[in-house]
Amino acid sequence: MQHGNTSPTTHQPWAEEEIDAAVIKLIGDDQTLWSVDEIATELSHLERVALLDSLGRLRSAGVVHRCDQLWKITRAAQHTHHLTGCQ
């Protein structure tokens, strides 16, 4: 008898903090401009709406800039990313 749903196909949604951290880890290494499609390709395990929500949260927090349809990490966030060893 199984207790709870332990199926390997069960998908737990990612927490907002985990999604934000994945985005920062991806784009945090340099000042490269990233399109949403490029980020979505690299983080293909995320749903697009979750990615867009994350970019919105990070933009509101001053962690990323949006230049037309391209995104990059702010210099302050990049510096903090390197100081904390999040690589």
- Report whether 55 contacts 19 (CB < 8 A): no
CATH code of domain 16-83: 1.10.10.10
Q: Tell me the C-alpha distance between 64 and 24, whole Å.
A: 9
Domain ranges for the chain, please list them.
16-83
How is residue 65 written in tokens? 């800039």
Share of the chain above pLDDT 90, in %: 62
| pLDDT tens string 50-82 | 999 999 999 999 999 999 999 999 988 888 877
Residue 42 burial by CB count (10 A; 0-12/13-18/19+): exposed, middle or buried? middle
Task: Report the predicted TM-score, pTM, of the whole model to 2 decimal places.
Answer: 0.76
DSSP 17: H
* pLDDT given at position 1: 41
What pLDDT, on the 0 to 100 scale, is given for residue 13? 63
Give residue-wise pLDDT tens across range 25-37: 999 877 789 999 9
Which range (6-15, 16-25, 27-36, 44-53) has the least confidence? Answer: 6-15
